[in-house]
Structure 1
């Protein structure tokens, strides 16, 4: 993949990942082992994932009332992924892992997302599920459930949304009642019986693995036996499809979890997406109704536990969006280089007798390709930078880890939202480059767009990310996270001011950062959340563009040579500053003015 050169550049020249090998956790690794991991994953993605991308899109999962049927290629591709050891890539050696840095794990998974995003979804959910249990589960829960997921014997899901609640977790209606005598006695944890419905559950039913481990949010009763209002009482439970004992063996009994139906989506068609019924009585474990679930963490702390997985998933969704954009960029670039159309313009007009030229020679096609390049390569830098911050958070000195944690807090909403919007735009431009052929299934770009359109909704919609950013992240602890980000941006500005050709961009970035600061204060000037947050989405769009402008300038500082590769990086940085960064003024204007139009708009006026 041509993407590999950019990936290596970002990892080695920009992020200097080999410096991580000086830390005890990564001491047994080297640049050679990192490269070997990337080589292996690139090969599996090319040979097992990419060839069946179209097949898994057209042969959607099918439910016959008893079983879900998937193409055999799905099983083969995921078996190759499991064999690679990537499910446990970042885990301790004694857990069966490789103790890889998060940034290398993320880079390796980029190949799978680019080759077949639907197949990559099963792996991302399984590793995220197991990582949560390693952080919040009991020792036996980690041994029985997490380790069997890391080995690929079992796969996992996350079950949050419900048909009537969507993203409003305070309206979760699934209930969990203590399971009588087994409540405190079960070695796997306090045992409950769950009843309710979960919607939009990716990988919720299949036969790829021996078992499926659902992590389910449900409300436990209060002291009076009634459901507590809001998010109080929301707890997290391990609910296996097939019941297991404390040795990790299947008991032969099916849990009361039933597939009610498959959702047929615009994209990601190779990943089963399910409506699951818990405790409907189709299966009766122990002779009773209700799905058996084991409490994770403390009662009422389900959201706290689940956000461990959700934040990880948001970086993963951002990476998936990035790589779909990258796939479309490479496909449209290849097409533009070989598609002849049009002739050179001269003062005398076009010479009909002259040969046609490739469309990549037309300025407007170059514009579309350059826009894609600036979006997808910038987004890749963003996701790898966030993964590098995760490594800092877990392995750096305390003060450096704390600083990394602050940056991650404010960047997570951007890591998820920015690629899902602008790499989708890259996919749209890829279709445009191909013209009429872009709409057809003869070329892959229409599928990349369909797959990517889901990422603006996955793991929290655009609006939710915007509310999180402006409503919480930039104002928490007196704005410490925003100040930490501003400090890092200003460091890049100061370095760029001393480099010929980048001083103008440095001053432009400094001005943009100042606009964000002023708009943040103005948005909250009245102290009324309803006024401040009415324009949270345009605020987030501007914020994200400033973050990407910063990363592009930081990358350009490293790409100062005369090779075509480095010239291309600088051209993408220049495109972003000349065509994209100026857009922030309009976005910030409505946020700063607390523009009331959208909140005052009446239903009847539509």
Structure 2
């Protein structure tokens, strides 16, 4: 029977051996917790996932949302599954006790929700986007807005979205045309159209809180003139009950190749005179506020991509262990019994590649969650600032690397299973379709590459860049005196190549066309991402080596040796690719830039 859930042993390794999450209980915020409470919360997440989402996984994929002109219709089983998450306290378990949360560290929250992501895929997006919406309003809204909108979202009565993309302005937010007009009562009237709004309409909650980017009339052009507004589906009365329907209409649904449980909508604001909106913070600072949610969503996308890759890997691994077919080349006896395909060298190669991609990606995402928590709860101001610097720099990589290599892992899961991989009797083809959305969600890979090379690297006098390199160097020094010294040397060489490449490409910006210089920015992102994942794997290797030193029982010994083998695979088969990407970037290769539109 192929795996229905993630590897609990791997989750425990990452949480407690790699990132030492148990030490967080020494912080005042988490003093009421222990490893036992962390594990109990993770077990609750798994129970809800297995009971409510796994049984409907295929139904959700084969029964897309529909719109009859008035209402959106979802598979009916989705609502009780979503309600079960909320009732179990798993929608936002990191929030304060007094707000109904479990006050868990963010890295533990990530693990608590891992089984839910794995079983529900993007259907879990209704909850995660709501949480990100609430976090933004909590950070930048007024106390009255927090009471009116955040509280019911935390309780699961309202859900939230982010509404940025427009038909004529996708990622080019400077060109958005949605307008906002001030009213005498302090509210605004919003008019415009938004597309690809995830969770933009449904009946899973009493209300939907849209966070809408719009331009107040008379505001500066470009991104400097963008403001952010709370625009609810239903207006809310003074007593907190729903009032009349706001001037927000569903114009239609988009039907995606995957992620079919989560509605993707076209919304029209102001067809009847203007949707009522409430300004968040100050006018013309909306994009800065929205980045609070966008960055959280980017980490969320990377995490979802990594977990979908892990799920596909686990499923194909269990299949390979049970599927007899063929014989090894060394076996010349046609009368001998077929072997399970996990014994075939090429199947082992594909499984090992999946393991290296998926476990590397998820470890990176957990590290991002740890940094997000350190930013808020680390002991000193210097430690909190350092965590912020690291996370801000790494966000484009946390979003893009799992999103690019997660689907590659899922493709290999299909290949491992052969003909059984691409039929919908098995879910791995669905995992691939679901995961293929993630390189586009929350900013394409190209956009992330421009953000990294053009903004994050030189920002604040290279502070984030230097901080990340220093963290890698620290791990290299730790590994030099261990059994992994050869890999430390490989990472050192990669780090030096990265630094040379960075100096060369940024040095060229003063004398060459910036469009030419940055035409290979994706290669730079690929290079930096691979170096970061190699670093993450070296950290996993050190933790596994430490585990072996404790003379573990046979099952744990196999686990640790598997970790070390995956690390070795990444260093030998993946890390050398950076030298090709480096050459393209350092030499300002113009092959793609020189291609003319009329030549296609």
**TM-score, length of structure 2 as denominator length:** 0.96
Verify the 8 A CA contact 1:91 1:98 in the aligned structure 2.
yes
Q: Does 1:242 align with 2:246?
A: no
**What is the distance in 2 between the residues matched to 1:246 and 1:137?**
18
**What is the distance in 2 between the residues matched to 1:571 and 1:402?**
35
Residue 335 of structure 2: which of 349, 353, 356 is its match?
353
Q: Does 1:495 align with 2:487?
A: no
Residue 325 of structure 1: which of 295, 298, 309 is its match?
309
Q: Tell me what 1:532 maps to.
A: 517
Q: Tell me what 1:186 maps to.
A: none
Q: Tell me what 1:201 maps to.
A: 197
Q: Tell me what 1:583 maps to.
A: 577
Verify the 8 A CA contact 2:212 2:230 in the aligned structure 1.
yes
Q: Tell me what 1:231 maps to.
A: 223
Q: Does 1:176 align with 2:183?
A: no
Residue 432 of structure 2: which of 443, 449, 458 is its match?
449
**What is the distance in 2 between the residues matched to 1:556 and 1:247?**
56
RMSD between aligned alpha carbons? Answer: 1.1
Q: Tell me what 1:284 maps to.
A: none
Verify the 8 A CA contact 1:144 1:247 in the aligned structure 2.
no
**What is the distance in 1 between the residues matched to 2:161 and 2:298?**
15
**What is the distance in 1 between the residues matched to 2:479 and 2:224?**
49
2:367 counterpart SS class: helix
Q: Deviations along 1:3-45, whole A, 9 cap, x unmatched?
A: 2111111111111111111111111111111111101001101
Residue 2 to residue 314, structure 1, CA distance change in 2 (3 Å): closer
Residue 250 of structure 1: how far off its partner (Å): 1.3
Residue 480 of structure 1: how far off its partner (Å): 1.3
Verify the 8 A CA contact 1:236 1:302 in the aligned structure 2.
yes
Number of residue pairs matched by the alignment: 583
In structure 1, stretches of 5+ residues that fail to align are 184-190, 282-288
Q: Tell me what 2:51 maps to.
A: 47
Q: Tell me what 2:564 maps to.
A: 570
Q: Tell me what 1:272 maps to.
A: 263
Q: Tell me what 2:248 maps to.
A: 257
Residue 309 of structure 1: which of 293, 296, 306 is its match?
293
Verify the 8 A CA contact 2:306 2:406 in the aligned structure 1.
yes
Q: Deviations along 1:538-559, whole A, 9 cap, x unmatched?
A: 1101100100000110111111
Verify the 8 A CA contact 2:6 2:310 in the aligned structure 1.
no
1:205 counterpart SS class: coil
**What is the distance in 2 between the residues matched to 1:515 and 1:237?**
45
Residue 541 of structure 1: which of 511, 518, 526 is its match?
526
Q: Deviations along 1:69-89, whole A, 9 cap, x unmatched?
A: 111110010000111212232
**What is the distance in 2 between the residues matched to 1:4 and 1:302?**
41
**TM-score, length of structure 1 as denominator length:** 0.95
Q: Deviations along 1:170-210, whole A, 9 cap, x unmatched?
A: 0111000012x222xxxxxxx10000000000100000100
Verify the 8 A CA contact 2:6 2:311 in the aligned structure 1.
no
Verify the 8 A CA contact 1:340 1:357 in the aligned structure 2.
yes
Runs of 4+ in 1 over 6 A off after TM superposition: none
**What is the distance in 1 between the residues matched to 2:90 and 2:428?**
28
Matches within 5 A, 1:46-445: 46-179=50-183, 181-183=184-186, 191-222=187-218, 228-251=220-243, 253-281=244-272, 289-346=273-330, 350-396=332-378, 397-445=380-428
Residue 454 of structure 1: how far off its partner (Å): 0.1
Verify the 8 A CA contact 1:314 1:412 in the aligned structure 2.
yes
**What is the distance in 2 between the residues matched to 1:494 and 1:28?**
36
1:271 counterpart SS class: coil
In structure 2, stretches of 5+ residues that fail to align are none
Q: Deviations along 1:125-149, whole A, 9 cap, x unmatched?
A: 1000001011001001001101100
Q: Tell me what 2:8 maps to.
A: 4
1:525 counterpart SS class: helix
**What is the distance in 2 between the residues matched to 1:2 and 1:265?**
26
Q: Deviations along 1:71-110, whole A, 9 cap, x unmatched?
A: 1110010000111212232222222222211111111111
**What is the distance in 2 between the residues matched to 1:202 and 1:215?**
12
Residue 495 of structure 1: how far off its partner (Å): 1.0
**What is the distance in 2 between the residues matched to 1:2 and 1:462?**
27
**What is the distance in 2 between the residues matched to 1:245 and 1:96?**
23
**What is the distance in 1 between the residues matched to 2:85 and 2:6?**
22
Residue 2 of structure 1: how far off its partner (Å): 4.5
2:437 counterpart SS class: helix
Verify the 8 A CA contact 2:123 2:260 in the aligned structure 1.
no
2:249 counterpart SS class: strand
Verify the 8 A CA contact 1:489 1:550 in the aligned structure 2.
yes
**What is the distance in 2 between the residues matched to 1:476 and 1:117?**
35
Residue 552 of structure 1: which of 530, 537, 557 is its match?
537
**What is the distance in 1 between the residues matched to 2:245 and 2:584?**
54
